[in-house]
């Protein structure tokens, strides 16, 4: 087990090398001179050249990448062209906010979706079952930013229950995390339902019932545990999607997260910020997948790590 | 996990009934309504230049900014005094172009790579599939954002971003059926008759994936429109004064409390169009392959 985790963590290295190389290549070969953007419209050629030298942009591409990698290994993701502040600092400041938002959104999706899914699996073809099917289509059809703005209009402007934007108190977290999590509720409910129904038809459920266990115990102890394996897979994949969706939700609610940090940097071609944030996003996705694989083993001892 | 077994090479009787007749017979009124929305959307997109010229759609007239819904302006005006109906209709045109072209790119590239990876099972195809699996795990929105960053903001880069970021999922989706079709008897028969690999792939295997292409194309359009609007909302799509729906919402955000119609009009249009493509896509899947209904 420990071996497996270490090996997987080591696999992170080539993966992140690949991502960083790809992103570095893409951002450096594109038109649009970042030094010129940073210098502003009135800058002289000498000023622009100075910025280029300061950031090492005058060196050949491969040398630039080498220098960048060396710095990344020391925890230095470069400096912003705009503010001259270290990118690592910016990420440390914004990433917790994004993580908080994504985790809260995920929590909402799971806490609502799984019980609804269990209920509709226990009552197939009932009202809840049909409702979930309709809601799932609505969920995947609703643009996150529009849902967020409508929620903001209703709960912040009209009812005045919650603050419209910003981060701070728990109340600030409600609207953004609901916006992020709500579309996934129906997805989780459907998945819970179908995997519960699959498990219900297994022999060991009949055995458990035959030896006299109550339905309640069978449902929660035997069925739910076995049905949770596809759910955990989905959770891992969807956490990545939630991080992506957070970029948009952060913009709607002026949430000071890493997505906003990244998008603002894209607008002004602040390449080290873009590179750093993408690397951190990629690393989080890979780490989440690792965590999911480890949870599998805990849920199902039949899965062997090799 | 072959996603739905494909229609057999011999058309069965039910298929000739027609999709519309199928919907009416099943009393799927929601889907019929969705089909109407789809038709209206496409008609508006095609007729946009006939109804309103570009000048009316983009000209700023601050003296009639943020007017409420009235006879002269059925959907009101936006914060720069432009007719919301004109902008909505031109927005439909941009949305349709972005959706159709990006899905076409994603489909062609996805089907070709998926078919090749399914037909030739060797180290290269498994390496490609590994790479695709990694790309699928990476959040789509972020993937698309990186591509937009590379090509700069605008309609073309938006199309490329959506198209390219859909490719990995399509590759995986189309590889399965090709893998299965390769083992069918008609493929073996074609091979026994001396057909070349290319002819087996293009005249025997790919035509049998067409139903999947139609279903996936419709559902992909919904997703492409959703992602495109999201990127435009972030400012990474067509730039003002282009009336893209997501960009319109971003530009009018400040007026949401005082004049909600500037947000609600493009937002509801977006939601309805995406919903319609999803509903029709799901119904098409049930129609073409009734067995898939049980899957999820």
pLDDT grade for B10, boundaries at 50, 70 and 90? very low
Q: Do the Cβ atoms of A144 and B230 come within 8 Å? A: yes
What percent of chain B has pLDDT above 70? Answer: 92
Tell me how many residue pairs between chain A and chain B have CB atoms under 8 A apart. 115
Q: What percent of chain A shows pLDDT beyond 70?
A: 94
**pLDDT value at residue B8:** 45
Instruction: Tell me whether residues B296 and A251 touch, CB distance under 8 A.
Output: no
Which residues from B are below 8 Å from A262, CB to CB? Answer: 145
pLDDT at res. B104: 95
- B221 and chain A: CB distance < 8 Å anywhere? no
Tens-place pLDDT, residues B187-242 = 888 888 888 888 888 888 888 888 888 888 888 999 999 999 999 998 888 888 88
- Residue B179 pLDDT more than 50? yes
Probe site for chain A from B99, B131, B145, B265 (most A CB atoms < 10 A): B145
CB contact under 8 A, A278 and B146: yes
What's the mean pLDDT in B140-165?
86
Dihedral of CA A64/A65/A69/A70: which sign?
A: negative
Q: Indicate whether B159 pLDDT > 90.
A: yes
Nearest CA distance, B191 vs chain A (angstrom):
39
Give the model confidence (pLDDT) of A130-166 as tens digits: 888 788 888 889 998 999 999 998 888 888 888 878 7
pLDDT score for B294: 43
A82/B contact by beta carbon, under 8 A: no
Restricting to A residues 240-259, those with a Cβ less than 8 Å away from any Cβ of B are: 240-241, 243-245, 247-248, 251
Q: Is the ipTM of this complex over 0.85?
A: no
Could you report the per-residue pLDDT of A204-229, keeping only the tens digit for each?
A: 888 887 887 877 778 877 788 777 88
Interface of A with B in 126-165 (CB under 8 A): 137-138, 140-146, 149-150, 152-153, 157
Give the span between the Cα atoms of A187 and A110, in whole angstroms: 10
Q: Which residues of B touch A240 (CB under 8 A)?
A: 137-139
Dist. CA B156–CA B151, nearest whole Å: 8
Determine contact, residues A273/A261, Cβ cutoff 8 Å: yes
Provide the pLDDT confidence category of residue A249 given band limits of 50, 70 and 90.
Answer: very high
| Cα A237 to Cα A303: distance, rounded to the nearest angstrom | 19
List, in sequence order, every beta strand (DSSP E) within chain B: none
Region for B28 from its dihedrals, namely left if φ exceeds 0, alpha if ψ lies in -120 to 50, beta otherwise: beta
pLDDT of residue A32: 63
Q: Can you count the helices (H) and strands (E) in chain A?
A: 13, 0
Residue B154 contacts A, CB cutoff 8 Å: no
CA angle A296, A302, B1 (to 5 degrees): 70
pLDDT higher than 80, residue A305: no
């Amino acid at each position: 087990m420990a071996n497996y985790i270490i090996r997987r963590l080591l696999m992170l290295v080539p993966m992140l090398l690949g991502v960083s190389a790809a992103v570095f290549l893409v951002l450096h070969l594109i038109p649009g001179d970042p030094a010129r953007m940073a210098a502003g419209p009135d800058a002289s050629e000498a000023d622009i050249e100075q910025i280029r030298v300061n950031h090492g942009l005058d060196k050949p591409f491969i040398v630039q990448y080498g220098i960048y990698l060396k710095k990344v290994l020391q925890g230095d993701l470069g400096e912003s062209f705009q503010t001259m502040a270290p990118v690592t600092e910016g990420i440390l400041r914004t990433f917790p906010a994004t993580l908080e938002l994504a985790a809260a959104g995920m929590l909402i999706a799971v806490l609502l979706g799984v019980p609804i899914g269990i209920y509709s699996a226990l009552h197939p073809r009932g009202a809840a079952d049909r409702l979930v099917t309709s809601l799932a289509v609505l969920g995947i059809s609703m643009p996150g930013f529009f849902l967020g703005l409508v929620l903001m209009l209703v709960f912040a402007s009209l009812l005045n229950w919650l603050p419209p934007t910003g981060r701070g108190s728990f109340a600030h977290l409600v609207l953004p995390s609901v916006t992020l999590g709500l579309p996934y509720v129906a997805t989780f409910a459907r998945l819970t339902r179908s995997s519960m129904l699959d498990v219900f038809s297994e022999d060991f459920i009949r055995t458990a019932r035959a030896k006299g266990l109550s339905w309640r115990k069978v449902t929660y102890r035997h069925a739910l545990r076995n049905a949770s394996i596809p759910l955990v897979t989905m959770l891992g994949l969807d956490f990545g999607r939630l991080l992506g969706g957070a970029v948009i939700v952060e913009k709607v609610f002026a949430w000071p997260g890493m997505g906003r940090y990244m998008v603002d940097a894209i607008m002004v071609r602040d390449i080290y910020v873009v590179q750093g944030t993408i690397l951190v996003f990629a690393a989080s996705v890979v780490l989440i997948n690792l965590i999911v694989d480890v949870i599998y083993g805990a849920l199902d001892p039949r899965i062997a790590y090799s | 996990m072959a996603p739905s077994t494909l229609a057999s090479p011999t058309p069965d009787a039910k298929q000739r009934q027609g999709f519309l007749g199928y919907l009416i017979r099943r009393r799927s009124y929601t889907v019929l309504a969705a089909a109407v929305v789809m038709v209206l959307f496409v008609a508006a997109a095609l007729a946009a230049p006939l109804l309103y010229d570009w000048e009316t759609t983009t000209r700023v007239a601050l003296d009639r900014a943020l007017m409420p819904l009235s006879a002269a302006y059925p959907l009101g005006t936006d914060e720069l005094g432009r007719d919301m109906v004109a902008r909505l209709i031109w927005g439909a045109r941009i949305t349709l172009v972005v959706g159709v072209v990006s899905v076409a790119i994603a489909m062609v590239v996805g089907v070709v790579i998926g078919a090749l990876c399914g037909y030739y099972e060797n180290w290269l195809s498994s390496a490609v599939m590994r790479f695709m699996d990694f790309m699928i795990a990476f959040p789509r929105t972020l993937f698309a954002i990186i591509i937009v960053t590379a090509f700069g903001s605008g309609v073309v880069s938006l199309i490329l971003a959506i198209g390219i970021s859909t490719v990995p999922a399509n590759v995986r989706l189309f590889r399965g059926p090709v893998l299965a079709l390769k083992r069918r008897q008609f493929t073996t028969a074609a091979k026994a008759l001396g057909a070349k690999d290319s002819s087996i792939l293009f005249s025997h295997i790919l035509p049998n994936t067409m139903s999947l292409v139609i279903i996936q194309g419709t559902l992909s359009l919904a997703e492409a429109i959703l992602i495109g609007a999201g990127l435009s909302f972030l400012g990474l799509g067509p730039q003002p004064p282009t009336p893209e729906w997501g960009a319109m919402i971003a530009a009018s955000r400040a007026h949401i409390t005082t004049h909600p119609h500037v947000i609600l009009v493009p937002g509801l249009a977006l939601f309805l169009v995406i919903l319609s493509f999803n509903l029709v896509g799901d119904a098409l899947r049930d129609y073409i392959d009734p067995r898939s209904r049980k899957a999820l």
